[in-house]
């Protein structure tokens, strides 16, 4: 098996430096937060009763995290839309945000072009591309991302700008203390899970070795639901591996019934529970009882507990843990975590059509 403690392995299999992008995440969160606080936006943007975030892949997950966080104490509903069509509910009281790292995502461009014909407030988050050009031509504010990475590694710049802007507008509650706590939590956690921490003391490396040659299924609940999605997509893109995610308590009403068949697959599955003590007490019980059912089905599982007091800290602690796990799993699969050649192939075929 690949030696995850060997620096040469990291240099060989990760020549573009995905590990550096993951290591930078806490600092990038703070930079993006501060840039958002300095961003000028009319106070009229606070006079909305719903928010629609348009995005795909790594540019949409920040919206998912924000929507989940907002559901705890927010007053304005936030929804994320991954499609070519603009939601029909968009009206003058809607804020439409188009989030595309490249500015070239065709689904986002399609929906955003439709939004131009509506009286909705509009905002763009991007590095450039067609999306920025369209926004500038229509005098729409653009929050420009100045960070070079694959979209999935630019999570800080799809999530924290929105969190900071909504904080300034009063759409979400004051998150200043939560952001400060999160930075400390992530800094402390990083020292125990980054590539320099040896396998015997590194829980992220240990979990990656357990997931190796298994099908990963991630379980989350409540405000951790989008974090489970993040784990799934990071394993897909970084590790180049199959992965799925399920949400409690919903999975207790269907997925658990499927533990029986096919029985020969049980040994190839590995479930990861993402848990927080702040989830509903009945949901926390469901984690325990679902684990018992997995034991009966002879399916291996492990529980990863969130760190920190605030929901923001807990979400981001599990995000960065999952990012490192997906990185180590890529090395165990002897694949470069950085490129996503199959997506590039698909984009080429779509362009040809």
The catalytic residue positions are: 237, 253, 347
3 state DSSP class of 100: strand
62 closest CA partner among 87, 20, 28: 28
CA pair distance 207, 280, nearest whole angstrom: 26
Q: In what order do the strands lie in the sheet with 78-81?
A: 78-81, 50-54, 94-100, 121-126, 142-144
3 state DSSP class of 123: strand
Provide DSSP, 61-120.
HHHHHHHHHHHHH-SS-EEEE-SSSPPTT--TTEEEEEEESSS--HHHHHHHHHHTTS--
| Beta carbons within 8 Å of 11's beta carbon, 6+ residues apart | none
Q: What is the DSSP letter of 87?
A: P
Which own/partner contact pairs does 342-345 have at CB distance under 8 Å and 24+ positions apart?
343/237
Q: Are 204 and 198 in contact (CB under 8 A)?
A: no
């Amino acid at each position: 098996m690949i030696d995850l403690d060997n620096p040469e392995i990291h240099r060989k299999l990760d020549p573009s430096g995905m590990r550096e992008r993951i290591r930078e995440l806490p600092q990038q969160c703070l930079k993006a937060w501060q840039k958002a606080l300095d961003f000028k936006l009319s106070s009229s943007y606070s006079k909305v009763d719903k928010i629609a975030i348009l995005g795909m892949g790594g540019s949409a997950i920040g919206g998912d995290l924000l929507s989940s966080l907002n559901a705890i104490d927010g007053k304005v509903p936030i929804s994320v839309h991954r499609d070519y069509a603009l939601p029909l509910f968009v009206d003058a009281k809607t804020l439409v945000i188009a989030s595309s790292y490249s500015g070239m995502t065709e689904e986002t461009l399609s929906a955003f072009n439709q939004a131009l014909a509506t009286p909705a407030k509009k905002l763009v988050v991007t590095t450039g591309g067609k999306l920025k050009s369209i926004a500038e031509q229509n005098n729409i504010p653009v929050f420009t991302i100045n960070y070079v990475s694959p979209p999935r590694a630019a999570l800080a710049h799809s999530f924290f700008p929105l969190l900071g802007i909504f904080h300034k507008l009063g759409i979400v509650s004051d998150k200043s203390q939560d952001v400060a706590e999160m930075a400390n939590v992530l800094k402390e956690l990083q020292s125990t899970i980054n590539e320099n921490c040896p396998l015997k003391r590194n829980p992220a490396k240990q979990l990656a070795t357990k997931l190796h040659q298994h099908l990963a299924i991630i379980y989350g609940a409540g405000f951790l639901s989008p974090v489970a999605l993040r784990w799934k997509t990071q394993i897909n893109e970084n590790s180049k591996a199959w992965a799925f995610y399920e949400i409690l308590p919903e999975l207790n009403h269907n997925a658990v019934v499927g533990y029986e068949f096919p029985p020969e697959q049980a040994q190839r599955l590995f479930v990861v529970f993402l848990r927080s003590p702040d989830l509903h007490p009945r949901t926390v019980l469901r984690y325990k009882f679902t684990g018992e059912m997995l034991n009966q089905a002879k399916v291996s599982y492990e529980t990863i507990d969130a760190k920190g007091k605030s929901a923001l800290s807990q979400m981001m602690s599990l995000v960065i843990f999952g990012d490192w796990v997906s990185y180590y799993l890529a090395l165990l699969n002897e694949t470069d975590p950085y490129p996503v050649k199959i997506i590039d192939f698909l984009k080429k075929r779509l362009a040809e059509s």
